[in-house]
Chains A and B, each alone.
Chain A
Amino acid sequence: MAKFNMNTLVLSLLLAVAPLLVNAEEAPRPAPDPILEKRVLAIAEELRCLVCQNQTIADSDAALAVDLRKQVREKLAQGMSDRDVTNFMVERYGDFVLYRPPVKTTTWLLWFGPFLLLAGGLIVLGITLKRRAHTEPTEALSETEKRRVATLLGTITETKEKT
């Protein structure tokens, strides 16, 4: 009986001290809804962080990116569609916030410029190839030229032997 009491005492003392040993971290976010989080992430990956312009708001830990992610989550939880949320951001930050800029007159050069460059390159290539085909093949060396080559090569080998 005494032993049992002792055990209980030790156990209750341990339990009483236990909370002090736990180095509590900040509480995790209240049970995240996996489907919602997936949508938040999908949208966040399409939005540019305006403070650190080469990162998406999903990548960035800048205060603004954190706020915008929070905003996206809240808007989705309120029942807004993905497109509504994106539009919400564009209304405030402009097309610049989109990693995939929309195709419109001001962005034509951006979207089609690379193809223009490609076409230009192909044209230059075509012209060069055509020109090359027209040039006459160089004639074979004449007898005198061959002899000159031989003497020149000979002098080279001679100088090499001397050294």
Chain B
Amino acid sequence: MKRFLLPLLVFASLVIFLAISLRLDPKEIPSPLIGKQVPAFQLTQLQEPEKMISSADMAGQVWLLNIWASWCVSCREEHPHLIDLFKLNVAPIVGLNYKDGRQDGIDWLRQFGNPYGVSAFDNNGRVGIDFGVYGVPETFVIDKLGVIRYKHIGPLTPEVINGKLLPLIKELNRG
């Protein structure tokens, strides 16, 4: 009986490790930007090219930055939830229109609705790189001091919004 004990233990630990790694998503890379100052940017607004939007404009309030594009399929999936979040009116949502055509972006918002107070037009993806964007959509929560507090990779779901974003925004707004 005893000679089975060691192989059994080895097998059990293997199962445990595999079970853990099954649950981890290799696509979710922890962002080094959390706890850091939001990367400064200044871009033209998507819908009004003659106007600018910069990170400094948002200082002093809790805000969300949502990276999206008209070519992004998951953005469409996330979009109704973003509209719901917008209607709650808890924090302004700034869009970062990432590597998109200006007209494509404008048409997309016209077709599906616009949850963004304003969208910054990041045509060449330069600002996206500063934010460490590698998959669209991504959402950042930024506090009143301009510090990134949370990053969600992939489409927002009601679970994420209700479970993570709303409590965090509430807490940050109180502080």
Q: What is the bound-complex CA distance between A50 and B126, given in angstroms?
A: 16
The proximity string for B residues 4-38 relative to A, scoring 1 for CB distances below 8 Å and 0 otherwise, is: 00000000000000000000001101111100000
Q: Is B129 an interface position by the 8 A CB rule?
A: yes
Contact A67 B29 (CB under 8 A): no
Contact status of A92 and B130, CB under 8 A, knowing A50-B29, A53-B26, A67-B125: yes
Q: What is the bound-complex CA distance between A126 and B94, given in angstroms?
A: 64
Contact B132 A94 (CB under 8 A): yes
Q: What is the bound-complex CA distance between A138 and B135, given in angstroms?
A: 67
Contact B29 A93 (CB under 8 A): yes
Contact A94 B135 (CB under 8 A): no
Interface residues of A in 11-52 (CB under 8 A from B): 50-51
Which residues of chain A come closer than 8 Å to B112, judged between CB atoms?
none
CB distance from A135 to the nearest CB of B (A): 15
Interface of A is mostly: helix
Q: What is the bound-complex CA distance between A51 and B136, given in angstroms?
A: 11
Contact A64 B134 (CB under 8 A): yes
Which residues of chain B come closer than 8 Å to A92, judged between CB atoms?
32-33, 129-132
Contact status of A94 and B134, CB under 8 A, knowing A63-B99, A67-B125: no
Contact status of A93 and B134, CB under 8 A, knowing A67-B125, A71-B129: yes
Q: Please report the total number of A residues contacting B with Cβ < 8 Å.
A: 15
Contact B29 A51 (CB under 8 A): no
Contact B134 A50 (CB under 8 A): yes
Which residues of chain B come closer than 8 Å to A53, judged between CB atoms?
26-27
Which residues of chain B come closer than 8 Å to A94, judged between CB atoms?
29-32, 132
Which residues of chain B come closer than 8 Å to A90, judged between CB atoms?
32
Q: Is A68 an interface position by the 8 A CB rule?
A: yes
The proximity string for A residues 59-83 relative to B, scoring 1 for CB distances below 8 Å and 0 otherwise, is: 0000110011001000000000000
Q: What is the bound-complex CA distance between A96 and B130, given in angstroms?
A: 16
Q: What is the bound-complex CA distance between A92 and B29, given in angstroms?
A: 11
Interface residues of B in 110-139 (CB under 8 A from A): 124-126, 129-132, 134-135
CB distance from A95 to the nearest CB of B (A): 8
Pick 15 A–B contacts, CB within 8 A, sort by A.
A50-B29, A50-B134, A51-B135, A63-B99, A64-B134, A67-B124, A67-B125, A71-B126, A92-B32, A92-B130, A92-B131, A92-B132, A93-B134, A94-B30, A94-B132
**Beyond known contacts A51-B134, A67-B129, A96-B29: 12 more, CB 8 A cutoff:** A50-B135, A53-B27, A64-B134, A71-B129, A92-B129, A92-B130, A92-B131, A93-B29, A93-B132, A93-B134, A94-B30, A95-B32
